[in-house]
Amino acid sequence: VAPPPVIHYNLNNVTISANPVQNKENVLILTPMARFYQGYWDNLLQLTYPHELITLGFILPKNKEGNAATTELQKQIAKTQKSGPEKDRFKSIIILRQDFDPPLPSQDEGERHKMQNQRGRRAAMAKARNSLLFTTLGPSTSWVLWLDADIVETPRTLIQDLARHDKPLTAPNCFQRYYNTDSKKMDERPYDFNNWQDSPTAQEIASKMGPDDILLEGYAELATYRALMAYMYKEGEDIHQEVPLDGVGGTALLVKADVHRDGAMFPAFSFYHLIETEGFAKMAKRLGWQATGLPNYKVYHYNE
């Protein structure tokens, strides 16, 4: 039997450009998924980036909820990849089940966001993201789009719109629709507070922390006075306005694959007193890659 052929990839031939469609650049969409939302899948299907250039990667926890989500996800995948229209079909799809224990207990939005629950959650999420990234990033991947499983609404041109900025890390602004009981109308509010610009106060707090302590954003108990992109949205202004960011969230984030190939990942430990996606932005920066935010470019998180 002949030995398998050696496959050569010249990374210099893989472009990562502002015109990814023209250059036929491969995009890896990575989603950690605790619950399956039909809105996420429907939104994914309507993305106009050529699906034959998109690989999907999922990681789901090994618990009851994760099992249910996996079943639902596989059902939708079968529909799209086998019986659905050809143009909807993705290049390939990879599903991982989390292999570390214990899985996070399932928590509702309020419980998840309690400060004392955050450290463990964020560390587990970091490991899940790293497992997903390191098992799926390929030699021909140009872009990685991190997209949480509860992002249910984005512009159809999301990938092209973010890539057009040609930045190492590009974060849109994540909002949430809700029913406003005062105005008795549907309304929207900022959701992802992990996209921020650093402040002297946060630096000061961090300088007095122990080596393993982490700074969290969005908690009144720990006022950091960082400038949050969530509050920089201005109605009617240019959706392509850019701001520099020091911390990023993972709800939706486009990353040049070279940033990850250089070694930037999601620390599950205190890295400059930052963890997970915020630690990732810091690590990217230490490697020479600056994060950019688009305060007026909105995507929407599911409302539980």
Contact residues: ligand GDP, CB under 6 A: 32-35, 59-61, 98, 103-104, 112, 124-125, 128, 148-150
Q: Residue 274: beta bridge partners? A: 271
Closer CB to ligand GDP, residue 69 or residue 163? Answer: 69
The residues that touch Mn ion, with contacts defined as CB under 5 A, are: 150
From the CB of 113, what's the least distance to ligand GDP, in Å? 6
Cβ of residue 122: shortest distance to ligand GDP, in angstroms?
9
Decide: residue 182, CB within 10 A, 0-12 exposed, 13-18 middle, 19+ buried.
exposed
Structure tokens at 132: 């997903």
User: Of 208, 284, 213, 299, nearest to 246 (Cα)?
Assistant: 284
304: number of CA atoms within 13 Å, CB side?
Answer: 11
Q: Choose the one of ligand GDP, Mn ion, none that binds residue 152, judging by a C-beta under 5 to 8 angstroms depending on kind.
A: none
Select 128 or 163, whichever has its Cβ closest to Mn ion: 128
30 binds, among ligand GDP, Mn ion, none (CB under 5 to 8 A by kind): none
Taking the C-alpha atoms of residue 70 and residue 96, their distance in angstroms, rounded to an integer, is 10
Pick between residue 107 and residue 201 the one whose CB is nearest to ligand GDP. Answer: 107
Copy the structure tokens of residue 13: 């031939």
Binding partner of 126, given Mn ion, ligand GDP, none, CB within 5-8 angstroms per partner class:
none
Residue with tokens 């964020």: 122
Pair 211, 270: CB distance under 8 Å: yes
CB of 263 to ligand GDP, least distance (A): 22
CB of 262 to ligand GDP, least distance (A): 24
Collapsed DSSP state (helix, strand, coil) of residue 262 = coil
* Residues sharing a CB contact under 8 Å with residue 2, sequence separation 6 or more, in sequence order: none
Residue 284 binding target from Mn ion, ligand GDP, none, CB below 5 to 8 Å by type: none
Q: Tell me 188's DSSP state.
A: E
32 binds, among Mn ion, ligand GDP, none (CB under 5 to 8 A by kind): ligand GDP
Give the integer Cα–Cα distance in Å for 81 and 84.
6
**CA angle (300 as vertex; 295, 304 as ends), nearest 5:** 135
* Cβ proximity to ligand GDP, 198 vs 217, nearer residue: 217
Minimum CB separation from ligand GDP for residue 258, in Å? 24
Q: Facing residues of 255 across strands?
A: 144, 169
Q: How far is the CB of 7 from ligand GDP (least distance, A)?
A: 30
User: Which of the choices ligand GDP, Mn ion, none does residue 149 contact, using the CB cut-off of 5 to 8 A by kind?
Assistant: ligand GDP
Helix or strand (DSSP H, E) at 26: strand 26-32
Q: Decide which of ligand GDP, Mn ion, none touches 35; Cβ closer than 5 to 8 Å per partner kind.
A: ligand GDP
Cβ at position 3, least distance to ligand GDP in Å: 37
Q: Report whether 203 contacts 247 (CB < 8 A).
A: no
98 binds, among ligand GDP, Mn ion, none (CB under 5 to 8 A by kind): ligand GDP
Across the strands, what pairs with 27? 54, 143
Q: Which is nearer to ligand GDP, 26 or 70 (CB)?
A: 70
Select 194 or 292, whichever has its Cβ closest to ligand GDP.
Answer: 194
Least gap, CB of 301 to ligand GDP (angstroms): 6
